[in-house]
Amino acid sequence: MNESDRQRGLGAAARVTALATSVMDLHVRIALQEMDREKRRLISGGIFLAMGGSLMLFGLLSIEVACFVWMNTSLEWSIELSLILLALINITLAGLSLRIGGQLTKGPYLPETLEGLTKTTKAVFGQQK
């Protein structure tokens, strides 16, 4: 590989990096505009989500303790067996929650973001209007 080929390759990499940076800047700028418009709603929603999440955590811990005590007294299971069963239930529910959450976060995106991504993709592949 001679010197001009090497410089051409570095130039292409620099252009792709600059385009990726431009897309990220565009997305962040649009997200900040949206957040600025909806700041009060977002802050109050975040506070209520945090409060609900904390209360849900305490409720789940209480249910787990009650299940553990019930397994040990009524079913006469050992401590180890009760803890293993509760851990398996927790892992299963966590996996389902992560799977559903991953599906929900796939979209939709803001129209400005999609437009910017379309323009950038066309520019990268040389299909500008």
The first and second tokens of residue 67, run together, are 């299940």
Say what angle helices 79-104 and 39-73 make with each other, to 10 degrees.
150
Confidence of residue 24 (pLDDT cuts 50, 70, 90): confident
Q: What is the pTM of this model?
A: 0.51
Rounded Cα distance, 28 and 19, in Å: 14
Confidence of residue 60 (pLDDT cuts 50, 70, 90): very high
Confidence of residue 2 (pLDDT cuts 50, 70, 90): low
Rounded Cα distance, 70 and 90, in Å: 17
- Radius of gyration of the chain from its Cα atoms, rounded to whole angstroms: 26
